[in-house]
Amino acid sequence: MLISMLLPRSAGASVHDGHFELVEGAGLSAPPAIADLARELLPLPTTDGDALTFRIRDDPALGAEGYHLRVTPEGVAATAATEDGLRWAVQSLLQLVPDGAPRRLPCLDVVDRPVYPWRGSLLDVARWCHPVPFLYRYVDLLAMHKLNTLHLHLTDDQGWRFEVRKYPRLTEVGGHRRESPEGHAREGREDGVPHGGFYTQRELSDLVAYAARRGVRIMPEIDLPGHTQAAIAAYPELGNVPSRQLETRTTWGISTHILNLSDATISFVLDVLDEVVDVFPFEYVHIGGDEVPAEEWRANPDVLARAAELGLDDVRELQGWFAGRLADHLGARGRKVGIWDELVDRAAPPGATVFAWQAERRVRVALDAGHPVVAAPQSHTYLDWAETVDDPDEPLAINGPLPLEKVYDYHPDEGVIGVQGQLWSEYLPTTDLVEWRAYPRLAALAELGWSGPGGDFGEFRQRLAGHLGRLDRLGVRYRPLG
């Protein structure tokens, strides 16, 4: 049966007579990491004891993230095969605890596990460098929704946000963009506003550790070889016309300026990735590969020579070769790569995980090419799109509409490893707007990811109404239900 308090909905549950009342000083026993998390998140102080127990127990039926949560009149007992499973049990417990006394929990049995191992949220911090405290809050909200992966889009034409110790100009120069009259001319779009900022490696390492305590892994993305105008502004020798001084791009859209593929540029990129790997322990590093206009390559004799030497008919195939160099380098460091789905048509490195973002059918194309695939089609998962296009109060967005129901009702192709919601930030200059766009659609995506497709939207919407009360208490600036 369905437990109305749980969002995402659980795989299986039953409710029994009676209740357990959680009181101040209730005894807690759990592995140290889980005890710390529960103490931090529960609304009441606890002591050592057996009223709330969390235990690791080998149970293949629960998989890597599942858990069993049982409430009896005597207390709460959770088991899972892993600490991750226990973390999700803590999140479910929090949803069962009423806000305010008496904190009575119904007696129940929840046996729960996710349908997809990859439940992601992309946040673009390159277009706007959202403040570090917001990233912590963002992670808290992901964990609350049992989303397990934060994809941080750290670099783009308009800004480079990842501190690289070996190449400080990436953030000194590439971390800033100037005011631009050309952008201002496009009224209301926040184009042309000067902006700057970056994250130190220390800040990101601390964020990674905080997220890990909540079961959220962070996948960094360094978008290459396109979307790199900020890097080329910082180090012109990376570009196709080394004597040309570009600036960090000041308007939205795709830059035509991309990396050249010289040996020096490749070793520069590998140095950058080495520093990325030092900061982000997660198994995956995303190396981009979207939207690479090839005109500059066609006009660059060195690139043409490289293509000829490799026997490639089309310079665009160099993209696959380049990604392969990066994948080999990262592979030697124990990492796998994530790539955008354009690379599937350009000899993508075998085994790379494809993020299929273009048309929905690209998910199938990537699967058929033999890749692990995260379904991220813009039609269903681009949460930066407006929910409606006929509401005059709707803030400006890059595209739309993408209503809540469409996100919820998405049926990814059979065989994907998961789903991911994207928040590109061209039109999300403030954290309030990020939250407005993210919620409640990210809650719908989270349920799709955890509970699988085919949920009843009407029922979800009712459960969501209660869930929004939780977001209210946290001060989340979500978009109210229409």
- Verify whether residue 291 is a known catalytic residue: yes
What are residue 155's phi and psi, to 5 degrees?
-140, 145
Sign of dihedral through CA atoms 77, 78, 81, 84? negative
What is the Cα–Cα distance from 388 to 482, expressed in whole angstroms? Answer: 10
Q: Which one-letter amino acid corresponds to residue 236?
A: P
| Single residue of 118, 357, 408, 450 touching ligand TNX by CB under 6 A | 357
Site string for ligand TNX, 241-280 (x = CB under 6 A): ----------------------------------------
Secondary structure class of 365 (helix, strand, coil): helix
Secondary structure class of 105 (helix, strand, coil): strand
Closest CB 436 distance from ligand TNX, rounded Å: 16
424 binds ligand TNX (CB under 6 A): yes
Q: Which one-letter amino acid corresponds to residue 107?
A: C
Closest CB 228 distance from ligand TNX, rounded Å: 12
Nearer residue to ligand TNX within complex by CB, 75 or 288? 288
84 binds ligand TNX (CB under 6 A): no
Closest CB 344 distance from ligand TNX, rounded Å: 13
162 binds ligand TNX (CB under 6 A): no
398 binds ligand TNX (CB under 6 A): yes
What is the Cα–Cα distance from 273 to 170, expressed in whole angstroms? Answer: 13
Secondary structure class of 409 (helix, strand, coil): coil
Give 30: exposed, middle or buried? Use CB within 10 Å, 0-12, 13-18, 19+: buried
Closest CB 317 distance from ligand TNX, rounded Å: 19
Closest CB 102 distance from ligand TNX, rounded Å: 47
Helix (H) or strand (E) holding 363: helix 361-368
| Single residue of 67, 128, 160, 382 touching ligand TNX by CB under 6 A | 382
387 binds ligand TNX (CB under 6 A): no
| Single residue of 118, 340, 450, 478 touching ligand TNX by CB under 6 A | 340
Helices 201-213 + 32-41 axis angle, to 10: 90
290 binds ligand TNX (CB under 6 A): yes
| Single residue of 247, 291, 317, 394 touching ligand TNX by CB under 6 A | 291
What is the Cα–Cα distance from 425 to 155, expressed in whole angstroms? Answer: 12
175: left (phi over 0), alpha (psi -120 to 50) or beta: alpha
160 binds ligand TNX (CB under 6 A): no
427 binds ligand TNX (CB under 6 A): no
Query: Whose CA is closest to 175, among 217, 233, 223, 221?
Result: 233
Written as one string, the DSSP assignment of 196-249 is E--B-HHHHHHHHHHHHHTT-EEEEE---SSS-HHHHHH-GGGSSSTT------
Closest CB 286 distance from ligand TNX, rounded Å: 10
Among candidate residues 203, 247, 275, 291, the one labeled active-site is 291
8 A C-beta contact, residue 155 and residue 285 = no
Nearer residue to ligand TNX within complex by CB, 359 or 474? 359
| Single residue of 221, 296, 426, 435 touching ligand TNX by CB under 6 A | 426
8 A C-beta contact, residue 1 and residue 14 = yes
Nearer residue to ligand TNX within complex by CB, 226 or 449? 226
Closest CB 246 distance from ligand TNX, rounded Å: 18
360 binds ligand TNX (CB under 6 A): no
Nearer residue to ligand TNX within complex by CB, 106 or 400? 400
384 binds ligand TNX (CB under 6 A): yes
Q: Which residues are catalytic?
A: 291
Q: Which residues bind ligand TNX (CB under 6 A)?
A: 290-291, 340, 357, 382, 384, 398, 424, 426
